[in-house]
Structure 1
Amino acid sequence: MPNSSIKNEAQYEALRDKGYSKEKAARIANTPDAGKKGGEAKPYEEWTKDELYNQAQNVGISGRSKMDKSQLIDALRNH
């Protein structure tokens, strides 16, 4: 049964098949540009602090309001 909260259901199912947890697979499948191929999604270093903050908020990183840009990047990569 499709989950309406998952933006990219095929990617979600593929990640689940690879052994990813439901939470991590959903987070990846719901990330804008996550499914783009060929390096089209720009690296975090090219994002503005506001973009990084919003992404951190989307994935539920706590303490983000006190983080600078490099801390946000590290938190997003390690979440």
Structure 2
Amino acid sequence: MPGKKHGPGIKNPDAYEEIRKGGASKEKAARISNAMASEGSSKVGRRGGKAEPYEEWTVDELRKRAGELDIDGRSSMRKGELIDALRNH
């Protein structure tokens, strides 16, 4: 597959690419696309969407999440930089 932007563990590559185009991180896109392949997209879609968009999070909340994902340089990042780092880690 030319232009492949994912690893061999992706079970639903088309869904993965669409989710990534929507701004999701690689980890999140892989998790969602693999769940869609295993459980079906309608089941996964019904349970999603509970978190607020990053733009509505506080800087402290964003830094905490960045820490959970071990993103380097998070302590000196501004809100926009944190959001970008979280979406593209």
Instruction: Quickly name the TM-score band, shorter chain normalised.
Output: 0.5 to 0.7
TM-score (norm 1): 0.55
How far 1:17 moved relative to its partner? 5.7
Q: Which ranges of structure 1 fall in alignment gaps of 5 or more residues?
A: 1-15, 30-34
The aligned runs of 1:26-65 (5 Å cut-off) are: 36-37=47-48, 39-65=49-75
Out of 11, 15, 27, the residue aligned to residue 18 of structure 1 is 11
Taking only the aligned residue pairs, the percentage that are identical comes to: 52
Counterpart code for 2:52: K
- Structure that is richer in helix per residue: 2
Q: Which has the higher contact order (CA 8 A, sep 6+)?
A: 2
Alignment correspondent of 2:16 = none
Q: CA RMSD in A?
A: 2.6
Counterpart code for 1:52: L
Q: How many residues align?
A: 53
**C-alpha distance in 1 between matches for 2:10 and 2:73:** 32
Once superposed, which parts of structure 1, at least 4 consecutive aligned residues long, lie more than 6 Å away? none
TM-score (norm 2): 0.49
**C-alpha distance in 2 between matches for 1:62 and 1:72:** 10
Q: Which ranges of structure 2 fall in alignment gaps of 5 or more residues?
A: 1-8, 13-26, 33-43
Structure showing greater Rg: 2
Alignment correspondent of 1:68 = 78
How far 1:41 moved relative to its partner? 1.1
